[in-house]
A and B are shown apart, each in its own frame.
Chain A
Amino acid sequence: MANKTDDKTLNILLFLCNWGAHAAFLTLQDQLRPIPHEIRMVRVPCAGRIDRAMLLKAFAQGADGVALVGCEPGTCRYGSGSANSLQNTDDVQRILDIMGLGRERLCFGAFLPEESEELLSFLQNFADEINVLGPAGIEAVPVISALNADDLHQELRQLVAAYDIHACQDCGKCTSACPLALIGKPFSPRAIASAVITGGIHSPGVQENVWSCLTCGLCYDRCPSAVNFPAFIKELRHLYRHTALPGQEVHGGFFHSLMRSMSSAAITPRRWGGLPDEIRTDPESPILFFGGCAPYYDIFFGKHSRPQTNKILIDSLRLLNFFDVAPRLLTDERCCGHDLLWSGDKKNFERLARINVERLNGLGIETVITTCPECYMTLHTTYADEGLELKFKVVHLYDFLEEQLDKGAVDFEPFDQVITFQDSCRLGRLEGKVDLPRKLLKRLQPARFVEMKEAAGASICCGNCAWTGCDGYSKALQVRRLEQAHATGSDLLVTSCPKCQLHLACAMEDPFRREQLEIELMDLTSIIAQTIRWKG
């Protein structure tokens, strides 16, 4: 899909099923019927194989409208294609609504080979509709210039100097702590370090491992020379993008497309629809609650499981209300950009970060509260590191809660479950807030709280961070973590990051071991919201 050549012509992408509607389209072409000129057709073996990632990617790369044309349910050559198409269309339409593009920009149609006139009017109507809506507003992805060998060498040298990679003593403490290495993956942080020193970043093992790294920070924690490995990997991924080595984006790059689209100033997301009536918000409040990507997660992963990450946001708002804070919400809230940055897409991250900071600074707010560890780290630390100046302070919800709870007169209802806790790498190791969630956990009244074998500073990652490099080893890692949770005798695994919840729930889907692995998951915020009580 090429980006627009001039501003006047819109781009409409048509995915057309080979088996039914394509014949109708050919008839239109043979008879020189007036197919709208905005439409570019891509013939596909089955519309059901155009997954949600591809549909969204079309928009991310400049489409103003996308039509998916396949076969009536029941006439699909492969059986399930039509049902898939309908499901995928519905999911992406809901996502487009929240993104602010609007569901009208994506439509599904089904036509038989002889229904050429019907197809024509369908396409004409769609083109008319898109013309009324106008351009989607997603800017072209900035072209990353390829580096020549000398420049690359230079960049690598700078990287080595900036992160003091020569300080690596080759002691291997990193590898002996690395969760990926311990699960059996041929993965070694120090090997990546020496590959960068010698310039051999293109050797196959190294390249794959850079994308697999969890950036969980355990090696940094253990390194006697304090080589900041997560940050180093972050830069290295950025460098890989320069050398035309694509990242291993999982879920078909769905989330990367989503975030890239967010970096266009012209789109205006429509967040926070459908909040429960009792939630109190105040458009003038000096305190803003920043939600994060949870609504998108719930739609996308709803196909496989029933994630409830958006509930974390609603429970956060309930807790703020509980303490008489009616926060402001940003209806055009964008993504914080964490995953863009950590998957090497620095250009788009910078664009997005600048839009976010300008918007938030312009509101005249004093405080931003967030509950997502990644949003927290990005807003609180990364933006400042990137040289952006924030005119407000960024507070994690747990800090706010701890401060309020410390004032006292609040109780927690006892509940009859044994709980254990999955640390978030971002909040725990990278932001140094290992004790904070534990202070809150200790206030709760469960039957018992038992730490996992590897907990707090030594805690294991949930298996993925920026939607890159998930593989069989990631799954094995998650399974090990779930086994550790079971070994504590707990029946409730408390998480603090929506991604931990998604990834651990995914590992439980293992059809052979489901019963051994299954454990109830709940976010700390939600448990607090459920059991907190005024003493009265």
Chain B
Amino acid sequence: MSQPVQQSQTEIIVTGFGGQGIILAGRILGMAASLGDKKESTLVQAYGPESRGGACNAQVIISNTPIHYPYVNTPDILIAMSQAGYDKFVTALADDSVLLIDEDLVRLQQAPCDHFAIPATRMAENLGNKMMANIIMLGFCTAVTGAVSSRAAQVTIADSVPRGTSERNIEAFGKGFDYGLSTLKGRRKVAAGQAGALAS
């Protein structure tokens, strides 16, 4: 699961509270894939009451070939940044899906598939702006799943975020990306029986 997703079509759901920048995150993923990585992509976004505080979601499909149907039934990647969003989509996950969560906002009962956790909102607060949690999550997702390339994601972020904040958002992306790489590294180390610094 830690390898870049190989199949030709990657279906992603990003979910969270309205106002977390869920739609923006989805849009950046799609734009990075199509404009940066020269693939096809679609975005279906939930708006209406959700974007005013309820559970909202963005459905993104990235593919090497033209996409015929833009809705996601079984996500390959689920990015959950709220408990409500997680609860809503958890049943749609398949065994080989990848689940990414904000570990402070989502409590996992029993994950139905491989999952990775990051304290994205806490990290964003430490960076001085809670609003950047979505970008941190994007960095994390990019490192863990390889759904888009890091370069494309960064270029798209720079174009998508409010004027004057692109540098800080790129920094936030880097934080999430590093955290993702560290997480993968930690998995390898733990699997190899080298969890600690001392010889066991």
Q: Identify the A interface with B (CB < 8 A).
A: 276, 278, 315, 318-319, 321-322, 324, 407-410, 413, 528-536
Judge whether A536 and B197 touch: CB under 8 Å: no
Interface residues of B: mostly helix, strand, loop or mixed?
helix
**Which residues in window 123-145 of B have CB below 8 A to A?**
123
Judge whether A319 and B190 touch: CB under 8 Å: no
A395 CB to closest chain B CB (Å) equals 18
B116 CB to closest chain A CB (Å) equals 9
Judge whether A322 and B197 touch: CB under 8 Å: yes
| B-chain residues with CB within 8 Å of residue A533 when the two chains form the complex | 195-196
| A-chain residues with CB within 8 Å of residue B183 when the two chains form the complex | 408-409, 535
B130 CB to closest chain A CB (Å) equals 17
Cross-chain pairs A/B with CB under 8 angstroms, 17 sampled? A276-B199, A318-B197, A318-B198, A322-B196, A324-B185, A407-B179, A407-B181, A408-B178, A408-B183, A528-B197, A534-B189, A534-B190, A534-B194, A534-B196, A535-B183, A535-B186, A536-B191
| B-chain residues with CB within 8 Å of residue A319 when the two chains form the complex | 197
User: Please, which residue of chain B has its CB at the minimum distance from the CB of A321?
Assistant: B197
**Which residues in window 11-48 of B have CB below 8 A to A?**
none
Band of interface residues on B: 20 to 34
| A-chain residues with CB within 8 Å of residue B178 when the two chains form the complex | 407-408
Give the docked Cα–Cα distance between A225 and B199 (Å).
52
B9 CB to closest chain A CB (Å) equals 29
B118 within 8 A of A: yes
Judge whether A407 and B182 touch: CB under 8 Å: yes
B187 within 8 A of A: yes
| B-chain residues with CB within 8 Å of residue A321 when the two chains form the complex | 197
Interface residues of A: mostly helix, strand, loop or mixed?
mixed
Judge whether B197 and A315 touch: CB under 8 Å: yes
Judge whether A530 and B198 touch: CB under 8 Å: yes
- Tell me whether A536 and B179 are in contact in the complex, defined as CB-CB below 8 angstroms, given that A318-B198, A408-B118, A529-B198 are known contacts: no
User: Please, which residue of chain A has its CB at the minimum distance from the CB of B180?
Assistant: A409
A111 CB to closest chain B CB (Å) equals 48
Judge whether B190 and A536 touch: CB under 8 Å: yes
B39 CB to closest chain A CB (Å) equals 29
B172 CB to closest chain A CB (Å) equals 13
User: Please, which residue of chain B has its CB at the minimum distance from the CB of A529?
Assistant: B197
- Tell me whether A408 and B189 are in contact in the complex, defined as CB-CB below 8 angstroms, given that A318-B198, A532-B196, A534-B195 are known contacts: no
User: Please, which residue of chain B has its CB at the minimum distance from the CB of A315?
Assistant: B197
Which are the 4 A-B pairs with shortest beta-carbon distances?
A: A536-B190, A534-B186, A409-B182, A408-B179
- For the complex with contacts A529-B198, A532-B197, A535-B186, 4 further pairs of A-B residues with Cβ separation under 8 Å are A408-B123, A410-B186, A531-B196, A534-B186
